[in-house]
Amino acid sequence: MNPFNYNEAFSRNLGWITSEEQSTLRSKRIAIAGMGGVGFDHMVRMARLGVANFTLSDLDVFEQVNFNRQYGATMSTVGQPKVDVAESVLRSINPEVDVRSLKDGVTEDNHDEFMADVDINNDSLDFFALDIRRAVFERCRELDA
C-alpha cells in the first residue's frame, strides 16, 4: 500500500485553485454541526478539496430511515454515532486529518468548545434548532468566523 501524500492526493485541484490556495485549505478548520443530509455531504466535499481540520457535532446515530438522503447511512453504519462514521470517512480520504468531535451536539454549554480555533462555520443544523443556531451565529460574529 502506498503511503498517503497530501500533495498528490489533491494535485488535481490545481488549475482551478492555486498551490497557495491549496495550502490555505489545508490549514483551515471547518466546523460542521449536523452530520445528516447536508453536513455530511459538505464535509466530504471539503475533505476532497483538501481541508484537513474539522470540528464535527451531532448527537444522533444512523438509522435505515436516513438511507434516502444521508451519505453516511448504510447497513454497516446503522446504530453508529454519526460523528464516528464521519471521522472514519474523513480518515479514509485523508489519514492526516485533525478531527474534533462533539457527540452531544452543539449546546449552550459547549458552543465555545465547538467554535474553538474555527475559521469557517458550515451551518448544517436542523432547521428547527433555532436557539442554538442563534448562539452559534453570535459566536461566529464575535470570532469573525
Q: How many CA atoms lie within 13 A of 84 on its CB side?
A: 12
- Position 132 scores a pLDDT of 62
Q: What band does 99 get if pLDDT is binned at 50, 70 and 90?
A: very high
Q: What are the grid coordinates assigned to 75, written together?
A: 447497513
* Alpha carbon of residue 126 to chain centroid: 15
Whether residue 34 is predicted with pLDDT greater than 80 in this model: the reply is yes
- Please give the full DSSP string across 34-81, using - where no structure is assigned: --STTHHHHHHHHHHHT--EEEEE---BB-GGGTTT-TT--TTTBTSB
Least confident of 8-22, 51-65, 114-128: 114-128
> What's the pTM?
0.86
If we measure between CA atoms, which residue out of 82, 79, 85 comes closest to residue 105? Answer: 82
- Residue 29 and residue 98: Cα distance in Å, rounded? 9
Whether residue 127 is predicted with pLDDT greater than 60 in this model: the reply is no
If we measure between CA atoms, which residue out of 26, 22, 25 comes closest to residue 11? Answer: 22
At 101-113, the pLDDT tens digits run 999 888 888 888 9
At 8-17, the pLDDT tens digits run 999 999 999 9
pLDDT averaged over the chain?
89
